[in-house]
Structure 1
Amino acid sequence: MTDAPGIFIGAGSTGSRQILNMRRANRHGLIAGATGTGKTVTLQGIAEGFSRAGVPVFVADVKGDLAGLAMAGSPTASIHATLAARAAEIGDTGWSYADNPVVFWDLFGEQGHPIRTTISEMGPLLLGRLMGLNEVQEGVLSIAFRAADEQGMLLLDLADLQAMLAWTAENAADLSARYGNVTRASVGAIQRQLLQLEGQGGDRFFGEPALDIHDFLGLDEQGRGRINILAADRLMAAPKLYATFLLWLLSELFETLPEVGDPDKPKLVFFFDEAHLLFDDAPKALNDKIEQVVRLIRSKGVGVYFITQNPIDVPEDVAGQLGNRIQHALRAFTPRDQKAIRAAAETFRASPGLDVATAITELRVGEALVSLLQPDGAPSPVERTLIRAPSSRVGPLTEKERAMLRSLSPLEGKYDALVNRESAQEMLAAKAGDAKAAAEQARLEAEAAKAQAEEAKAAARQAQLDARQRAAAEREAARAAAAQARAEERARAAAAREAAKPSMTEKMIHSAARSAASSIGRQIAGRVGSELLRGLLGGLFKAR
């Protein structure tokens, strides 16, 4: 049931109608309470009210039972009697079963349309949170993003980021000189975290076609706002992925939607179930970002409602932004529970005669303490309230029902096929291929130059050998010529000697002359010798 000024939440113990004012619905809210106290049914009824008022809704279906929003309730259901009794008790005379326009989404693409974003759109801050990086590693990741931007390389999926990180490690020295210390150890740690993220199914979240946020803002042909239901039951096994995805979605809404001030009704209402996952172990920078988004996104016409078991799970800076509050029962079993009860009681505007701290522990299933912003912006006094019964099915869908509804979706086929366009991985691979080709060409040129050098050396050696052979041949020819000349000279000399020899007649004459001369000489010599002998002997005898 939708009242003119807002959404009927339930009836107070005094019979007053608790109305969520549409002009104040974008001032955010909190639905808290222990497990099994009725939070999901309360959320379901509020989502129905927004849809009927023409306000699109986004809700994460953690347990799988919110999918029943797509189907009308049934009088044959086991819970029918309880719901009918509740409607009669609070005077909800217009209550009846009805369905709602629903679009199913799923990060894994199994129970709904795939939801994807790109690595570049997610940014290093949220990715660092998603992977649990320390400050040094976040700094290295930011440098990788900066380098990709400077080189015009798109980071679309995990493969692109892995390729970019590998490039960062290879060029760590150059990047360190420009941006600060970049170590291979830090890059290696990030790469290991990426492998873990991929193992959790994170690779399905990154890619294209990326989500068009305006697809969350559609109305059906009756003017009802579409209820976008994210199948989060499997996603809860990767709580950081779940929380980071929803925070990214809030940031994307904030950055994409135009300023609208204070509209008559929200442009979109965002329900964040299991909200404590968003804040667990979150660094201060991330908490500051969450607080900033929650504080400013209301000017974009977006209302954010956190659903959690314990109200103290929400940091004070964020809790202070939540004007509409519905508190289901809490159990005071531990000191932390008692602290939560006191904290919850202190946040409500007091109501005469109501002990809030005591009432919180006494609330029945489907009963809550409610304080909503009034038309003038002031919170209403807290009142114990019976929550209205939902008109849609309380419980999950069958696989057949989900498949049928998905086939009728206005977005059928838009996001199903993955698109892989040229991005960092392909560009770096191309560069590596070019570098490899250039290196291969250089190697071939070097080998060719080496071969040419070897050929030149061989030619030089052959030339030297040929020169030596020519010199040897010339020397041999010279020696042969010299020998030939000597032989010829000897032949000439021999011929000259031969020519100079006397003839036989001359020899006979010469011999005769020589004989005669010899005879004469002997005669003369005989005489002379005799004379000399006589002279010598005579001198000897005289001396005696």
Structure 2
Amino acid sequence: MAVIEEGKVFVGTSGHPEYVQLPFANRHGLITGATGTGKTVTLQILAEGFSKAGVPVFCSDVKGDVAGMAMPGEPKDFLAKRAEKIGFADEYAFEAFPVVFWDLFGKEGHPVRTTVSEMGPLLLSRLLGLNDTQEGVLNVAFRIADEEGLPILDLKDLQALLVYVAERASELTVRYGNISKASVGAVQRSLLVLEQQGGQMFFGEPALAISELMRTAPDGRGIVNILAASSLMQSPRLYATFLLWLLSELFEELPEIGDPEKPKLVFFFDEAHLLFNDAPKALLEKIELVVRLVRSKGVGVYFASQNPLDVPDTVLSQIGNRVQHALRAFTPRDTRAVKTAADTFRPNPDFKTFDVITQLGVGEALVSTLEAKGIPSIVQRTLIRPPSSRMGTITEAERQAVIAASPIGTIYDVTIDRQSAFEMLKAKVEDKVAEAPAGPPPDVPGEGSGSLLEEILGLNVPRNKRLSTTQKAAREVTRDLSETVGGALAGSVGRQIFRSVLGGILRR
């Protein structure tokens, strides 16, 4: 019996084949289940199916397992038995898929960058963990940059801009409300934490062109874009904010196309709870809006998480394709999760969904997808098909070979540092210094003489004693901390920041 059909992605068999219908694949999806129940393999076989249908895919690789898609699978007894059991043996074959690796840190894939301006104050506030007052300061900084034509491309631009805002606080307070030096200092400290996590590598140019993710291979298969996220998961807020930024960029840049015959892109968001945890209401509303509207751009978003409670009801209500692996019901919260999962499915008269969810084996799931006219199918207990690509990770040599053969080439390998806010503010200060009347030099050139902006730009000390932007910001933060919480803590933080300037902390 042939189970592969045109216009469908084969998921597995429940007694009859179960599919994701390509015309409804942009109605989003959800893959949930406890650890070790087979979520990653389900994500993998869906990505394979979309790729074979000519649909580009973007997915994050949290554990390193998804990278195996770049290599063909290997014959194993349990794979052959599963294929035989679900009637897939005649069509089952091993193959590698066209993969492009990406990495925010540029180590395990092509570097991914955007500019601070493109990120915007709302997402940046989320990334930095700012409170409402600090977010207000950031909004003022962005407003000033827009009004004065100061491009904010990287973190040094933002650091210089914040100091510029602080030095004009009295003037700007009249227009925008109170701008305190303490709030600016808090934002600067958050930027230093982000730098310690390697976040400065994410901001700069050349920025990622969204079109890079929409490629197809010469044989017509969709390129599978895999974000190396094992190191990135050490900074979960950066991980979640990056993926949300990417999703919003797709929403902003892609044209409206309604419901196409197949998606233009399928976007897998693993560890989806990180997107919604502690997100302020304004950000949650934006997430819900983007998820609701991006489907008309031909983008399907598939969330993967351990617990269906991780995804807000307003987002769950927009999801049409569901794969539920086993859940455990050891606590009252676990029981609520099982009930929530069961209630989202169209009931099957042959079994009680609530009971079956806790009885599913590894590689087995409850599946419901959209059928004709977008109606959810009756939930079915399904054996998931085995993947055609490798299950598990790849070697470093294999990864480097894939990167070397990538169609992206070396476009993003070298950072470009063009004129932006830092250089423009530096020029302003230099002009101001040049126009100032000459006077007798001070007897002893004090280290703190001149404005902080001049210090951070390295303009009021001899060239051989100038510090880097980060060092200047670090020194100012250390001073601020010293005044606030005492010299002992300030000394500790100062040593940590000094190590980061030398690169010790940033090398992970």
TM class, shorter-length = 0.7 to 0.9
The aligned counterpart of 1:387 is 384
The aligned counterpart of 2:307 is 310
Compared CA separation, residues 369 and 431, structure 1 to 2 (3 A)? same
| Superposed displacement of residue 444, structure 1 | 7.3
The aligned counterpart of 1:152 is 149
Q: Say if 1:2 and 1:52, in contact at 8 Å, map to a contact too.
A: no
Q: Secondary structure at the match of 2:18?
A: strand
**1:107 and 2:101 matched:** no
| Superposed displacement of residue 364, structure 1 | 0.3
**1:7 and 2:3 matched:** no
Q: Structure 1 residue runs of 4+, over 2 Å off?
A: 441-445
The aligned counterpart of 1:56 is 56
- Post-superposition CA distance 1:107-152 (Å, at most 9, x none): 0000000000000000000000001111111111000000011110
Q: Secondary structure at the match of 1:207?
A: coil
- Post-superposition CA distance 1:142-201 (Å, at most 9, x none): 000000111101000000000000101000011111121111111111000000011111
- 1:61-72 to 2 correspondences below 5 Å: 61-72=61-72
AA partner of residue 240 (structure 1): R
The aligned counterpart of 2:37 is 37
Q: Say if 2:56 and 2:214, in contact at 8 Å, map to a contact too.
A: yes
Q: Which residue, out of 241, 245, 251, partners 1:254?
A: 251
CA distance in 2, matches of 1:397, 1:412: 21
Gaps of 5+ in 1: 446-544
AA partner of residue 23 (structure 1): P
- Percent identity between matched residues is 62
The aligned counterpart of 1:178 is 175
**1:89 and 2:91 matched:** no
**1:329 and 2:326 matched:** yes
The aligned counterpart of 1:198 is 195
The aligned counterpart of 2:479 is none
The aligned counterpart of 1:458 is none
The aligned counterpart of 1:484 is none
CA distance in 1, matches of 2:18, 2:434: 73
**1:120 and 2:122 matched:** no
Q: Which residue, out of 288, 292, 306, partners 1:291?
A: 288
- Post-superposition CA distance 1:72-125 (Å, at most 9, x none): 0122xxxx1111111100001201101100000000000000000000000000
The aligned counterpart of 2:260 is 263
Q: Say if 2:31 and 2:303, in contact at 8 Å, map to a contact too.
A: yes
Q: Secondary structure at the match of 2:411?
A: coil
The aligned counterpart of 2:20 is 20
AA partner of residue 408 (structure 2): L
CA distance in 2, matches of 1:422, 1:32: 46
Q: Secondary structure at the match of 1:412?
A: coil
| Superposed displacement of residue 413, structure 1 | 0.3
Q: Say if 1:23 and 1:375, in contact at 8 Å, map to a contact too.
A: no
CA distance in 2, matches of 1:398, 1:97: 18
| Superposed displacement of residue 68, structure 1 | 0.3
If the length of structure 1 is used for normalisation, what is the TM-score? Answer: 0.80
AA partner of residue 301 (structure 2): V
| Superposed displacement of residue 432, structure 1 | 1.3
AA partner of residue 44 (structure 1): Q
Q: Secondary structure at the match of 1:9?
A: strand
CA distance in 1, matches of 2:414, 2:425: 25
- Post-superposition CA distance 1:436-477 (Å, at most 9, x none): 2222x44379xxxxxxxxxxxxxxxxxxxxxxxxxxxxxxxx
| Superposed displacement of residue 375, structure 1 | 2.0
CA distance in 1, matches of 2:244, 2:186: 24
Q: Say if 1:276 and 1:313, in contact at 8 Å, map to a contact too.
A: yes
The aligned counterpart of 1:506 is none
The aligned counterpart of 1:428 is 425
Pick the structure with greater CA Rg: 1
Q: Secondary structure at the match of 2:424?
A: helix
CA distance in 1, matches of 2:178, 2:372: 55
CA distance in 1, matches of 2:392, 2:61: 11
CA distance in 1, matches of 2:128, 2:100: 29
- 1:436-515 to 2 correspondences below 5 Å: 436-439=433-436, 441-443=437-439
Q: Which residue, out of 127, 145, 162, partners 1:165?
A: 162
CA distance in 2, matches of 1:175, 1:444: 33
Compared CA separation, residues 216 and 334, structure 1 to 2 (3 A)? same
AA partner of residue 233 (structure 1): S
- Post-superposition CA distance 1:403-444 (Å, at most 9, x none): 0110000001010000000000011111111112222x4437
Structure with greater helix share of residues: 1
- 1:399-438 to 2 correspondences below 5 Å: 399-438=396-435
Gaps of 5+ in 2: 442-508
| Superposed displacement of residue 5, structure 1 | 2.8
Q: Say if 2:7 and 2:53, in contact at 8 Å, map to a contact too.
A: no
- Post-superposition CA distance 1:366-387 (Å, at most 9, x none): 0000000002100000010000
The aligned counterpart of 1:364 is 361
| Superposed displacement of residue 2, structure 1 | 4.3
The aligned counterpart of 2:469 is none
Instruction: Give the total of aligned pairs.
Output: 438
CA distance in 2, matches of 1:191, 1:89: 59
Q: Say if 1:8 and 1:17, in contact at 8 Å, map to a contact too.
A: yes
**1:139 and 2:136 matched:** yes
**1:240 and 2:245 matched:** no
- Post-superposition CA distance 1:218-238 (Å, at most 9, x none): 011100000000000000000
| Superposed displacement of residue 354, structure 1 | 1.1
Q: Secondary structure at the match of 2:101?
A: strand
Q: Say if 1:6 and 1:21, in contact at 8 Å, map to a contact too.
A: yes
**1:276 and 2:273 matched:** yes
AA partner of residue 8 (structure 1): F
Aligned-residue RMSD, C-alpha: 1.1
**1:219 and 2:220 matched:** no
Q: Secondary structure at the match of 1:143?
A: helix
Q: Say if 2:369 and 2:377, in contact at 8 Å, map to a contact too.
A: yes
If the length of structure 2 is used for normalisation, what is the TM-score? Answer: 0.85
AA partner of residue 209 (structure 2): D
Q: Secondary structure at the match of 1:362?
A: coil
CA distance in 2, matches of 1:322, 1:108: 32
CA distance in 2, matches of 1:135, 1:271: 31
Q: Say if 1:269 and 1:302, in contact at 8 Å, map to a contact too.
A: yes
